[in-house]
């Protein structure tokens, strides 16, 4: 496999609209792109998103390695859910967490996953495992299950297991925890004073639990913890990715970055430098949500870094093979269900009842608390 095509599998990119453009199709197939992330701009109706996911997966037959695509979306519940009605509108994790019911958390992610799977989405960039220790933190706020790390840990395992049951991959975020920050990394770099002892006692507990529950991916945050790594934000930090995630937490799954075009990074580093440094630090997949020029720049920059000896081609090959192995195991049925079968799951009455019960502050009958 050519280096360019191995690198393409490390790329997760956004697309512009409700259908793929000719240029997008050409770039995706010629570069062997590994994953597509969807946003509200890509969603018009359930049948349209089903059609788009079908179109994306058909492109795999034109890829050099014929590899199925990861198709991911942010579907957390509350204010972060890209799929609108008639899909079930799920309450926030804060409302879910307040009920302190692992059984309900399992049903929450299982039912959500069934709706995602029906239209061809196979990866949810959820759940958020940020422990809300700073009540002034509006970036996370009601996206967090709780301010209690033990409760977030307990419920995170149930959420991951629900996604697994629904045959949807999940991605816990924002490692090692965004719950104590004030700044939004979309616009600036949050700087935290927490040391490793504090992280081990609070922020890392839910992630360790999720790792043991076989979560598919973990998403890194763009936060600088100056008492742990005073030079690099987490996404670009070997200390966080190689030492803490891989060695101390013993996580063997895929590490994906948060959007690499966020100003927390781009205010200080170039697109090219970010891509190369992320791979050096230990990121497996590079996420580019909104800027179509970034993935080609990243591929070119990493190719140059390999040619210069800064990154070993063997490292790229190793990541590529890890992604292929994960896809073989987790994407056995890449194509969406036929629309006639898929549509029955969208906004299913049982899902609506669960969502309404959570909004009402109740655990539905028949579910243990």
What is the C-alpha to C-alpha distance for residues 160 and 302, in angstroms, rounded to an integer? 33
C-alpha–C-alpha distance, residues 309 and 301, integer Å: 12
CA 69 to centroid of chain Cα atoms:
14
Whether omega for the bond prior to residue 176 falls within 30 degrees of 0, making it cis, is yes
Q: Return the closest-CA partner of residue 171 out of 103, 122, 135.
A: 122
Q: Kindly tell me if the per-residue pLDDT of 120 is higher than 70.
A: yes
Share of the chain above pLDDT 70, in %: 99
Residue range 114-123: mean pLDDT, rounded: 97
* pLDDT tens-digit readout, 209-252: 999 999 999 999 999 999 999 999 999 999 999 999 999 999 99
CA-to-CA distance for 149 and 180, rounded, in angstroms?
12
CATH classification code of 16-359: 3.20.20.300
Average pLDDT of the residues of the chain: 96
154-192 pLDDT tens trace: 999 999 999 999 999 999 999 999 888 867 778 889 999
pLDDT value at position 368? 60
Of 228, 316, 288, 346, residue with least CA distance to 12: 288
Sheet holding 169-175, edge to edge: 254-256, 217-220, 169-175, 123-124, 70-73, 35-38, 11-14, 286-288
Q: Is the pLDDT of residue 366 over 90?
A: no
What 3-state DSSP class applies to 73? strand
Helix H or strand E encompassing 152? helix 149-165
- The C-alpha atoms of residue 42 and residue 87 are separated, in whole angstroms, by 15
Quote the pLDDT of residue 100: 97
The torsion angles phi and psi of 136, rounded to 5 degrees, stand at -85, 0
Q: Is residue 369 predicted with pLDDT exceeding 60?
A: no
Question: Which residue, among 288, 282, 234, 237, has the nearest Cα to 255 in the 3D structure?
Answer: 282
Nearest-angstrom CA–CA distance, 77 and 96: 9
pLDDT value of residue 365:
80
Residue 187 is predicted with a pLDDT of: 80
pLDDT digits (tens, 9 = 90+) for 58-80: 999 999 999 999 999 999 999 99
Judged by DSSP in three states, 92 sits in coil
Average pLDDT over residues 122-136: 95
Task: Assess contact for 245 and 230: CB atoms under 8 A.
Answer: no
Gap between the Cα atoms of 92 and 369, Å rounded: 18
Q: pLDDT band for 367, please (50, 70, 90 cuts).
A: confident
Q: Among all chains, which residue has been given the structure tokens 């700044």?
A: 183
Could you give the residue numbers annotated as active site? 186, 258
106-128: average pLDDT: 98
SS3 state at 14: strand
Q: Which residues have CB under 8 Å from 49's CB, separation 6+? A: 38, 42, 43, 83, 119, 120, 121
């Amino acid at each position: 496999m050519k280096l360019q095509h191995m690198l393409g599998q490390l790329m997760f990119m956004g697309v512009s609209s409700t259908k793929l453009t000719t240029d997008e199709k050409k770039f995706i197939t010629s570069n062997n792109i590994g994953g597509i992330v969807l946003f509200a701009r890509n969603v018009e109706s359930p049948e349209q998103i089903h059609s788009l996911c079908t179109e994306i997966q058909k492109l795999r037959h034109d890829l050099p390695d014929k590899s199925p695509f990861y198709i991911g979306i942010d579907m957390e519940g509350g204010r972060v859910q890209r799929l609108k009605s008639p899909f079930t509108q799920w309450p926030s994790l804060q409302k879910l967490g307040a009920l302190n019911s692992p059984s309900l958390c399992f049903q929450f992610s299982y039912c959500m996953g069934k709706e995602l799977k029906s239209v061809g989405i196979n990866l949810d960039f959820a759940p958020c495992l940020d422990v809300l220790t700073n009540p002034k933190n509006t970036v996370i706020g009601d996206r967090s299950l709780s301010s209690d790390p033990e409760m977030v840990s307990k419920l995170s395992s149930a959420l991951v297991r629900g996604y697994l049951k629904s045959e949807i991959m999940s991605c816990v975020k924002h490692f090692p925890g965004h719950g104590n920050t004030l700044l939004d990394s979309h616009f600036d770099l949050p700087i935290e004073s927490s040391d490793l002892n504090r992280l081990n006692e609070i922020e890392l507990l839910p992630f360790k639990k999720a790792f043991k529950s076989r979560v598919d991916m973990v998403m890194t945050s763009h936060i600088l913890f100056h008492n742990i790594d005073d030079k690099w934000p987490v996404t670009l930090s070997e200390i966080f990715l190689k030492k803490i995630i891989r060695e101390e937490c013993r996580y063997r799954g895929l590490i994906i970055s948060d959007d690499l075009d966020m100003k927390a990074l781009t205010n200080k580093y170039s697109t090219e430098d970010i891509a190369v440094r992320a791979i050096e630090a230990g990121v497996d997949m590079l996420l580019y949500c909104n800027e179509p020029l970034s993935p080609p720049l990243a591929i070119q920059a990493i190719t140059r870094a390999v040619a210069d000896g800064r990154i070993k081609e063997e490292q790229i090959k190793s990541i590529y093979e890890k992604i292929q192995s994960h896809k073989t195991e987790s994407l056995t049925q890449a194509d969406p269900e036929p629309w006639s079968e898929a549509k029955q799951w969208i906004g299913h009455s049982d899902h609506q009842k669960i969502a309404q019960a959570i909004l009402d502050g109740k655990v539905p009958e028949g579910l243990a608390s």
